[in-house]
């Protein structure tokens, strides 16, 4: 049974040793406001500190995993436990601190929990949703899942807050995906190694739980050490240095003239939450 401690997520313990975190804003297609991002991070840290938990699952309620950043819905909420984070973006300094604290450092905290994490992805997985998925150790996707970073064409922004694509897809495919705003299907993600398994939607939870149970049966200290060693090896390729550079470039881009002009041009669309992007495309049959 899920507890009622959170507003944007559900937190439940399955079979005594698996923590399941579910983004629970299906009416907004799990568009991520700052409160949701904070609660996802806090729930990961909570599960990591629980000696009974062996595996952490991250899921999204409803048809789609996540519509990404919530830019304009009328019920956006701010985080509750982020001292030093500006509430309003009055200038580039505030914007940088806000994105560094709630998106970049939050993502790193999710990635660096000591216990294995599995993302269970269905439908659309967009922008910050894709970013959070890539912070998980394993990704299991349904056949209808797709991954999309539209920030270049909608925000004049070069990347997400965390540069995930080159290390998930390869560098040339990353450029193509970002520059052209391409959607990456579940099968394409499987082929390039970003996704571990692709299954029919009806089998997604069953398959994910099966993998989680097998991991939970393995020696927990050995699992933790293996995760730490592999992540360290990944960082030695330059990933962490690239991420530190990326958050600077990402925030600089928000304040360029081309970004401001794009925001003025697209203001009516930006006033809606990002779930409108998906619904508009579905209506058009895209």
Asked whether residue 3 is assigned to any structural domain, the reply reads: no
Asked whether residue 110 is assigned to any structural domain, the reply reads: yes
Burial of 245-281, coded b for 16+ CB within 10 Å and e otherwise, reads ebbeebbebbeeeeeeebeeeeeeebebbbbbbbeee
Strand partners, 69: 32
Domain extent at residue 143: 9-284
**pLDDT at 143 exceeding the cut of 70:** yes
Helix (H) or strand (E) segment spanning residue 175: helix 171-180
pTM: 0.92
Asked whether residue 1 is assigned to any structural domain, the reply reads: no
Asked whether residue 66 is assigned to any structural domain, the reply reads: yes
Average pLDDT over residues 114-139: 97
The answer to whether 98 and 158 are in contact (CB under 8 A) is no
Of 65-79, 110-124, 155-169, 196-210, minimum mean pLDDT range: 65-79
Asked whether residue 202 is assigned to any structural domain, the reply reads: yes
pLDDT at residue 98, as a whole number: 81
Number of structural domains, the chain? 1
Asked whether residue 4 is assigned to any structural domain, the reply reads: no
CATH of the domain at 150: 3.90.226.10
Average pLDDT over residues 257-276: 72
Tell me the pLDDT tens digit for each residue of 7-21: 999 999 999 999 999
Looking at residue 63, the DSSP 8-state letter turns out to be S
Asked whether residue 178 is assigned to any structural domain, the reply reads: yes
- Of 267 and 198, the structure prediction assigns the larger pLDDT to 198
Asked whether residue 119 is assigned to any structural domain, the reply reads: yes
């Amino acid at each position: 049974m899920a507890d009622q401690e959170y507003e944007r997520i559900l937190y439940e313990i399955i079979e005594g040793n698996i923590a399941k975190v579910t983004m629970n804003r299906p009416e907004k297609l799990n568009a991520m406001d700052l409160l949701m991002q904070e609660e996802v991070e806090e729930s990961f840290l909570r599960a990591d500190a629980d000696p009974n938990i062996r595996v952490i699952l991250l899921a999204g309620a409803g048809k789609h995993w996540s519509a990404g950043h919530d830019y304009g819905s009328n019920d956006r909420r701010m985080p509750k436990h982020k001292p030093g984070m500006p509430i309003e973006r009055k200038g580039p300094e505030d914007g940088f601190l806000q994105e560094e604290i709630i998106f970049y450092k939050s993502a790193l905290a999710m990635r660096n929990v000591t216990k294995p994490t599995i993302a269970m992805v269905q439908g659309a997985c967009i922008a910050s949703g894709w970013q959070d998925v890539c912070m998980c150790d394993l990704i299991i996707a349904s056949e209808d899942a797709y991954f999309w970073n539209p920030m270049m064409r909608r925000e004049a922004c070069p990347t997400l807050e965390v540069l995930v694509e080159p290390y998930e897809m390869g560098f040339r495919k990353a450029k193509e995906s970002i520059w052209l705003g391409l959607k990456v299907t579940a099968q394409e993600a499987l082929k390039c190694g970003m996704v571990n398994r692709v299954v029919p939607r009806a089998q997604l939870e069953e398959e994910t739980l099966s993998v989680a149970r097998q991991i939970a049966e393995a020696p927990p200290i050995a699992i933790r050490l293996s995760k730490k060693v592999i992540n360290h090896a990944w960082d030695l390729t330059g990933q962490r240095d690239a991420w530190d550079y990326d958050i600077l470039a990402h925030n600089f881009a928000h304040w360029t003239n081309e970004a401001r002009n794009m925001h003025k041009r697209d203001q009516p669309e930006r006033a809606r939450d990002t779930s409108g992007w998906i619904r508009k495309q579905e209506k058009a049959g895209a």
